[in-house]
Homo-oligomer: A and B are copies of this chain.
Amino acid sequence: MSRKLPASSPLKDPAYKAAVVDVLGLIAYSELTAFGRMSVDAKLAPTLSDVVALSRMAVDELAHYGLLEARLIELDVDPAEAMAPFVEAVEKFQEQTRPADFLEGLVKVYVGDGIAADFFGEIAGLLDRETAAIVREAISAVGVESYIVDTVRAAIEADFSVQGRLALWARRLVGEALSQAQRVAVDRSQLSSLIASSGDGMDLTEVTRMLARITEGHTARVAALGLGANS
């Protein structure tokens, strides 16, 4: 059921609402995909307790999806319709970055979801308070981080050749993510203008700063995994 929006709600502005629906749809489909991917990758885990732990994290991703779905319904938008414009880009990314083994899957979750969460977190800063809170909760970590760091570092310690392969893999993930992000930016002008607008959005300096922050976060994650230039 749709709630009455207060007269002062920024969501009364159709252009802003279209951008919000795009943000929610994009993150929702990313979470839904994360659920599917993590539950598949879970099967590759080395022990049954790992399988269970990773499966439960997949379930948390679906719960995150539920938050975004609820917000879309509240805004009188069909969640499937909101997600539809992003299916191709997300699936293309998944297809181009199919992990060859369990370790590549873990790096993909850590590096890929990390950069996506940072990006969506920046977007949240441009949204009305209520939507922003939902986005922030939906992109919050599912508790898999320290498990991934420990597992990847242990694998590198056991066999150093793993390091170069996974470092290359992390770079490829970012390259593919950027190329799909570019595609989405071109296709969805309301989303791009939310980010780079002369009004309440960011100007070019702000966008540059945002990209610098995201790059910084990525570099820190790669280093945490022991895949940095100085590792």
- List residues of chain A with CB under 8 Å of any chain B CB: 29, 32, 35-36, 39-40, 42-43, 47-49, 51-52, 55-56, 58-59, 62, 65, 69, 79-80, 83-84, 87
Contacts and interface: CB of A to CB of B under 8 A. Distances in A.
Given A39-B58, A52-B65, 5 more contacts: A32-B55, A36-B39, A36-B42, A48-B79, A55-B62
Quick one: copies of this chain in the complex?
A: 2
11 contacts: A29-B48, A32-B55, A35-B55, A36-B55, A39-B40, A48-B79, A48-B87, A49-B80, A52-B65, A56-B62, A59-B62
Interface centre among A39, A47, A79 (most CB of B within 10 A): A39
Nearest to A40: B40
A52 B64 CA distance: 12
Nearest to A91: B43
